[in-house]
Every structure is written in structure tokens, then in C-alpha cells.
Amino acid sequence: MHSGPKSREIFERVKQFIPCGVNSNFRYWGDNENLIVKRGKGSYIWDEDGKRYVDYRLGFGPVILGHAYPEVVDRIKEALEMGNIFAMTNKYEISVAEKICNLTGVDMVRLANTGTESTMHAIRIARAYTGRNKILKFEGHYHGFNDYTLWNCYPPISGTGYRRSPILIPQGSGIPLSISNLVISLPFNDEELLEKRVKENWGDIACIIMEPLQGNTASIMPQKGFLEKVRELCDEYGIVMILDEIKTGFRIARGGAQEYFNIKADLVTYAKALGNGFPVAAIGGKRHIMSEIAPGKIALGGTYTGNVVSAAAADATLDAIAQGALEKVDAHGKKLMEGIAKVFKKYSVPHVLTGPPSMFGIVLTEKNVVKEYRDWAESDHTTYEKIIGKLFEMGVMPDKDSREPWFIAASHTDEDARFVIDAFEKAVKDVLG
Ligand SMILES: Cc1ncc(COP(=O)(O)O)c(C=O)c1O
């Protein structure tokens, strides 16, 4: 999996000015592997060497419609004429807030710029509302770069200990160890363990924050009844249930995971697909909690929140979603899942396909069900990476890390599906045949 000569040459230069040559650690693959992207259009991106890829990373999920999507670009151009920041409410913020509430069923919403910001705010709101400080999260769930949640996101399994009492591991250096006193981390999908820990600690727990499905671990799904169990425990013990829908929101259904799984959280965080790739995020929730956000009560805001360009991008994206864009997304995802399953069957490759069609995961494992991060951690990552390496050579780009789902956009075509399934078979044959 090598980048072309032009990408490599530029990357050498970039590394002098940007640590690792990337503006987010997750983007670093290796000095000879990272691409320099020239442009994107629809379902494709082109690198500086002129090579085209069918894009299934989609910037880690945001590009729900397609790159440079005409309706989004037009709305932004129109909006730019009015200026960008006024530190007062503008018409696009109002429109976006109404659309989010109508599509998802949250009562009220505040805009932010990034997912990290919105989960940080949601946790603060939960703490303020409950007067408690601890957060409960799950292994392999990622909630952005804030210190409170960067625990047991992608821990080495050898270090996390016994699954009934996981050891807390920070995501790298620089996160104060004292914060671990405020974090409880558990394996996903274990109702009994969750109930036990909540009963022992509820007086300290402000929120249970979770991805509704593991968008950061191969799209592992919640087992039947698990989300309902979280809801029940939060109701019983006065804990705020935060659904982090930054990957699932406006992607797996118009109303996100709340609609898909028929569950109602107290607070919900959105970003990614909300703006088709522009920096816009949101914290939504029930009125009795959200209406407590006010000066002197709960601190929440930011200079760039609701800026015209980002809000206009979200406005156009939500219109496309309301008009049925996700049906195309789902149809393409289903085709790929069926095609990939057939190839695996033909070559007798043990696997589990996880998640909804719009963001499905592939786990190479002998297990029949993949329920939690530890199941993924024990799966065959080496073979997966080799298959993805072959796909890259053929111009197909899912992420090489099998934790990342294959993200689908409304711009992916039937021709893309045929090309990709054909390439997938060649790749599997090459690696395993
Ligand atoms: C579930 C989830 N929460 C939060 C974040 C952080 O979002 P951002 O990168 O916009 O800060 C991400 C990013 O991938 C995410 O997947």
C-alpha cells in the first residue's frame, strides 16, 4: 500500500511543518503511504498523482451526500454573500435548529463546531443537571478528543485486564491520570455488568455516554434489549443518557439511532453527516434539561458556533436528507454487503458483517457474533489490511483499519458497486486464494 511519487515528495515537505504531516493523528498511515488529496467529486477522490479512488472513508463519515455536492455548494455560495459571523442569531441557525428537531425528535438544540466539542458540552450539561461528576462509558467507544472520554477507546487488550473490572487506559500521554477517578469503563452489551456497576455507583454517575452502535469499532451493534436496559437504569437512578450520534446521526436513518432503534435519549450529540463535511455539530435533547442552559447556570458556547457557512451547509444537507438521500445510501450499502458476503462465502473466509448498510463493518473472525471491542480486538486484522491494500491498488478506498466502517454516500453509483465487488473478489483471491 504505497502512495505515488508526487504524494511522497509533497509529504516529505509537509512533515517539516505539520507533525506527522497530518492535522489529525487518525489520518497518519505512514510516510510512504499517506496520500495528498487533490480534489473530490461525488463518490470519488483524486490524489496528486492523478489516481482516482472510490471513497468509502468519506472523511471518517461526514460526507453523506457526496464530495462537492452541488446543492450544498450552492447554498454556501448564496450564504457567503451575507457575511459569516455576527455573534447574533442568523437565519441559517434557526432553520437548522428547526430541521434537526423535526427530523430527530429532540426538543431543543444548540449548535457547536465539532463532535469533540458537542460531547464535552453534553457531559457538562449532564453534570450540572445531576450535580454528579462521574461518567460511565464503554470500551471501544470514542467520543472525541476531550480528556474525560479518551479512556479505553482503543486499548491494547493485554493492558485492560479482566473484562468484569477493566483497567482504565488513556489514549496516549498528556491526559491527567487523576481524571480516571471520574470515569467508569465497561464492555459494551453486558447488561448484567452494567446493572451491577450502576447500582454500586449511581450516586456519583452524571451520565452514561455511548455510541448507539460502535461506529468506532467495526459498527458492532447493540444486542437486543441493551439500549433499553441503559434507558431503564438511567430512569431509575436519575442518570442522564447521552447518545453520541456523531457517526450515526443523519446517516443510519433521518432521525438517526433514536429512530433506527426506537429509543429516546436525554441528550444527543450530532456532527459529521449533519454538514456533509463542513464543521458543524449539535447538542440536542429533552426540553427539561436543554432549557437549563443559560448564562450563570451552565456554561456553553463558542465564537464560531452557528457561523453562516457551516449552518448553510447543514441547512442544505438536512434538506437533501429530508428529501430521501438516505434511501440511495442504504441501497448502495446493501449491494456491497451482499456482494462482499458472497465473495467471502466463495473463498470460505470466516467473517461477520456488522452494522447498518450506510456504515457497515467487516470483522474477520471465527465467532458467529461480535458483541464488544474485545471480540474485534481478537479478530484477524492482518488479513483485512492485506485485502484493503489490494483494493487501494485497484482504486477503492475504505479505511485500512477494520475498526472504521465502510461509509456510504448518496453519490455512490451502481457502477461503483459493480466495480468494487469485482475488485473485492480479486483482492480476496490474491490474498487468500
Ligand atoms: C462517535 C464520535 N464521537 C465524537 C467524535 C469526535 O468528533 P470530531 O472529530 O468532530 O471532534 C467522533 C469522531 O470520529 C466520533 O466518531
CB 220 within 8 A of CB 371: yes
The Cα–Cα gap between 355 and 218 comes to 8
Q: Which residues are catalytic?
A: 142, 244, 272
CB 274 within 8 A of CB 99: no
Same domain, residue pair 362 and 291: no
Task: Name 300's Cβ contacts closer than 8 Å, sequence gap at least 6.
Answer: 110, 121, 124, 125, 283, 293
Same domain, residue pair 60 and 75: no
Same domain, residue pair 318 and 330: no
For 397, the 3-state DSSP assignment is strand
CB 341 within 8 A of CB 352: no
Q: CB under 6 Å to ligand 1: residues?
A: 60, 114-116, 119, 142-144, 211, 215-216, 244, 246-247, 271
Burial bucket for residue 409 (CB in 10 Å: 0-12, 13-18, 19+): buried
Among residues 279, 306, 322, the one where a domain terminates is: 322
Q: Which of 154, 246, 280 to mutate to test the pocket of ligand 1 (most atoms within 8 A of CB)?
A: 246
For 189, the 3-state DSSP assignment is coil
Radius of gyration of the chain (CA): 21
pLDDT digits over 6-38, tens only?
999 999 999 999 999 999 999 999 999 999 999
Q: Which of 211, 247, 404 to mutate to test the pocket of ligand 1 (most atoms within 8 A of CB)?
A: 247
The Cα–Cα gap between 206 and 241 comes to 9
Same domain, residue pair 126 and 84: yes
Res. 279: pLDDT tops 90: yes
Smallest CA separation from ligand 1 atom 13, residue: 144
Alpha helices in 347-432 (DSSP H): 373-377, 381-393, 414-432
CATH code, domain carrying 383: 3.90.1150.10
Cα 29 from chain centroid? 19
Same domain, residue pair 160 and 100: yes
pLDDT digits over 196-241, tens only?
999 999 999 999 999 999 999 999 999 999 999 999 999 999 999 9
Ligand 1 atom closest to the CA of 144, numbered from 1: 6
Residue positions counted in the chain: 433
Average pLDDT over residues 397-409: 97
Q: Which of 26, 58, 120, 142 to mutate to test the pocket of ligand 1 (most atoms within 8 A of CB)?
A: 142
For 306, the 3-state DSSP assignment is coil
Res. 326: pLDDT tops 80: yes
Through-space distance between the first and last CA atoms of the chain, rounded to whole angstroms: 19
In total, how many domains does the chain have?
Answer: 2
Question: In angstroms, what is the span from residue 143 Cα to ligand 1's centroid?
Answer: 5
Question: In angstroms, what is the span from residue 290 Cα to ligand 1's centroid?
Answer: 21
Indicate the pLDDT class of residue 153, thresholds 50, 70 and 90.
Answer: very high
Among residues 322, 357, 385, the one where a domain terminates is: 322
Percent of all residues in the chain with a pLDDT value above 70, rounded to a whole number: 100
Indicate the pLDDT class of residue 2, thresholds 50, 70 and 90.
Answer: confident
Same domain, residue pair 154 and 260: yes
Percent of all residues in the chain with a pLDDT value above 90, rounded to a whole number: 98
Same domain, residue pair 59 and 184: no
Q: Could you give the C-alpha distances from 55 to 39, 45, 317, in angstroms and in order?
A: 12, 6, 19
Question: In angstroms, what is the span from residue 120 Cα to ligand 1's centroid?
Answer: 11
Same domain, residue pair 338 and 243: no
Same domain, residue pair 183 and 103: yes
Among residues 322, 341, 362, the one where a domain terminates is: 322
- Other C-beta atoms lying within 10 Å of the C-beta of residue 159: 11
Expressed as residue numbers, the domain containing 313 is: 70-322
The pLDDT mean for the chain works out to 97
Res. 1: pLDDT tops 80: no
Indicate the pLDDT class of residue 433, thresholds 50, 70 and 90.
Answer: confident
